[in-house]
Structure 1
Amino acid sequence: MKVRIYIILILVFAFVSCNEDSKIEQEIAKIEMNFEVERFDKAFFEAKSQDLQNLKNQYPFFFSSDPDSFWIEKMKDSLQRELLKEVQHEYPDFNTSKTEIQSLFQHLKYYDKSFSIPRVITLTNDVAYRDKTFVNDSIVLIALDNYLGAQHDFYQNIPMYIAENMKKSQIVSDVANGYATKYLFQSTKRTLLDEMIYHGKLLYFKDVMIPFKTDADKIGYSEAQVKWAEANESQIWSYFIEKELLYSTDSKLPGRFISDAPFSKFYLELDNESPGRLGQYLGWQIVRAYAKNTGDDVMKIMQLGSEEIFNKSKFKPKK
């Protein structure tokens, strides 16, 4: 009898919680958030030499002290033309991504009343894939030549585990990550646990700000990799505990479990089956557990230290 009552209480709590989340999302959807996406990439592609000064007036931050002749040559450069042409082909419009970014901005405004709409500008950056987006208080830059799809010819010399996330569905996730780093505070990252919680907070921020995206999109995994991480969560956690890795300051550990990599490095047979960055994944689950147990606001969570989050999370891996 007690078991039945316990199950009923869990179901009631889950229903109330989902209903509350739904009400919040309805409120967020009502927030006005009007902006235009400025297609600098398109403007540069279509520009003639006589249009250069106008472009410089509109986008002074894109132009260095190089003479006009440098930029006019760049307009004519065959490689630049090919790059810009491919971007225009893949992005004749930006409507889908704009809708997702608009929803991100609505969520940001709901949780941070001081948030103001930035300029959103698309461009190309010669496939500098480590700088796909840039975010600050007044501007969001999105380099579209980094989102042409994993199999694009431009990416043939880029490691596949990186190229796999060079696709349209990652745009809003990358922009959200840029905002997450702005809101996040963590005084130290000495131990593996510090690194795990740091990245866990970035991922939990995405849970709240882009709830319409899948877990795979948020962390940059395939659906199969997410399922692998979920299925092996308990074993991964046991490995970290048995090897006493959580509080280790070994400088090699971030490279094994946090940084971008084709797989995580347990030095076991399962390595080649595993996705990279499993330390980030586990940190995410810890922060999720903390949020569920405490009910703390996302903005508060972003400011907390790793020890407090870990101790109060009462984290238990899925079995």
Structure 2
Amino acid sequence: MKWTEMLRWYSLAALFALFLSCSSDRLDVNIDADPVDLPVLRMEKDLPDQLISLEKANSVNEELLRTYGSLYELFVGKMIREGSVHDPMIGNYLMKRFNSDLLMKEVLPELRTEFSDFDQYEKEIEQALAYCQHYFPDSALPDNIITFFSYFNAHAMVVDNNLCVGLEMYLGKDHTLVEKLPVMDFPKFFKDKMDKRYLVANAIKAWLLENFYACSGEDFLDKIIAAGKIMYLMDAILPQSSAGIKMGYSDQEVEWAKVNEYKVWQYMVEQEMLYSKDEMLEVNWITDGPFTKGLSDDSPARMGIWMGWQMVRDYMNANPDVALHELVSETNSKRILKYYDPKG
């Protein structure tokens, strides 16, 4: 099928879908009767400022391991790279690290000050998880919310069913410590997103990716639809959040994505991207960067995710009887695509 015919076909299918859509908002639900209340653990507060003896170092190591388990193992082994917490010499390694690491000595006090009160973030995360429980009553909740210092490695992650937030990733691009980070490792587009306003959305996205992400095939279409499903779940679970917050876009990037959606669709069809198995498309269109490779330099990164999101939105708008768990289970990406209207 020629690309012009493909464009015409999907436009007609989407127009037909418009007449099938329901005017009620499926995502307008009340969760007040089922609140979520989770323990919050503050690992950055429990890390020592210094270790004055080997005995103290070993004691702290054991206590942190008991409290934080695999997250602490990950912190020591992968983030500060001091090896196994079970190494007989770990006390010596930790003494040297905590007593001499200048970055840690600068960052930890800042985190304890900037995020001394985590209550509002906790409330928003718990509210989002209450929505998640509403739509997926059989799904598990996190055992804990854990805040920690990831040594600038992770915005948010799920470890042993704990929802973990790397607080230093939200100090703000203008914070002195963030400004000092090397540009080669932390380019401008990365620092721009080191903002508190993205904390809750990033945490929820990490939870959704861990528990609901499933790609049904190897085609580029399958990958962007899978990512689009997660974004639609974000619509449901963070109903008050803007598109920019959910995508990690600035207002200007959101506007670019909206204005240029049809042109991007045309480009994807012309380049025969949808059913391609070229792994570089995922790198260029789904992973983060300064812009989306193949589009103009003023485009936002991850336009593949944006496009998949719009496809899923159109599908759900046209099929009001499809529940969210059915969307997650849908493996036919073409079925979702046929309802897409790139002209909006």
Task: Give the shorter-chain TM-score range.
Answer: 0.7 to 0.9
Distance 1:203 1:255 in 2: 18
What are the equivalent positions in structure 2 for 1:100-115 lying under 5 Å apart?
A: 100-114=124-138, 115=140
For the 8 Å contact 1:120–1:139, the answer to whether it is kept is: yes
257-266 vs 53-62, greater mean Cα deviation:
53-62
The alpha-carbon deviation at position 30 of structure 1 amounts to: 2.6
Q: Equivalent residue of 2:147, what SS?
A: strand
Equivalent of residue 140 in structure 1, options 159, 163, 173: 163
Distance 2:225 2:110 in 1: 38
Distance 2:136 2:195 in 1: 29
1:213-272: CA deviation from partner (whole Å, max 9, x where unpaired):
1110111110111011101111111122223221222333223322212112236xxx12
Q: 1:304 to 1:21 in 2, by over 3 A?
A: closer
Matched, 1:32 2:35: yes
With CA pairs under 8 Å and 6+ residues apart, which has the higher RCO, 1 or 2?
2
The alpha-carbon deviation at position 121 of structure 1 amounts to: 0.9
1:267-310: CA deviation from partner (whole Å, max 9, x where unpaired):
6xxx1221111111111000001111112122221122222322
Residue matched to 1:3: none
Matched, 1:198 2:226: yes
Residue matched to 1:280: 305
Higher helix proportion, which one? 1
Residue matched to 2:13: none
1:138-196: CA deviation from partner (whole Å, max 9, x where unpaired):
311111112211232254420111222222122222222222222122232x2221221
Matched, 1:178 2:206: yes
Runs of 4 or more consecutive aligned structure 1 residues displaced over 4 Å after TM superposition: 45-51
Residue matched to 1:224: 252
* Paired AA for residue 272 in structure 1: D
Cα-Cα RMSD: 2.5
* Paired AA for residue 44 in structure 1: L
The alpha-carbon deviation at position 93 of structure 1 amounts to: 1.3
Residue matched to 1:6: none
* Paired AA for residue 258 in structure 1: I
The alpha-carbon deviation at position 102 of structure 1 amounts to: 0.9
Equivalent of residue 55 in structure 1, options 58, 64, 67: 64
The alpha-carbon deviation at position 202 of structure 1 amounts to: 1.6
Equivalent of residue 249 in structure 1, options 274, 277, 284: 277
Distance 1:87 1:228 in 2: 34
For the 8 Å contact 2:226–2:308, the answer to whether it is kept is: yes
Q: Equivalent residue of 1:113, what SS?
A: coil
The alpha-carbon deviation at position 209 of structure 1 amounts to: 1.2
Distance 1:183 1:104 in 2: 15
Residue matched to 1:7: none
Residue matched to 2:9: none
TM-score normalized by structure 1?
Answer: 0.84
Distance 2:99 2:50 in 1: 10
Matched, 1:93 2:117: yes
242-251 vs 85-94, greater mean Cα deviation:
242-251
Q: 1:235 to 1:81 in 2, by over 3 A?
A: same
Q: Which runs of 5+ in 1 are unaligned?
A: 1-9
Q: Equivalent residue of 1:140, what SS?
A: strand
Distance 1:278 1:254 in 2: 10
Matched, 1:317 2:338: no
1:4-47: CA deviation from partner (whole Å, max 9, x where unpaired):
xxxxxx9xx64xx14x644x1x2x13312122311110121567
Residue matched to 2:172: 149
Residue matched to 2:315: 290
Count of residues in correspondence between the two structures: 296
Matched, 1:207 2:216: no
113-122 vs 33-42, greater mean Cα deviation:
113-122
For the 8 Å contact 2:288–2:301, the answer to whether it is kept is: yes
For the 8 Å contact 2:163–2:207, the answer to whether it is kept is: no
Q: Equivalent residue of 1:35, what SS?
A: coil
Distance 1:232 1:58 in 2: 49
Distance 1:167 1:228 in 2: 21
* Paired AA for residue 93 in structure 1: D
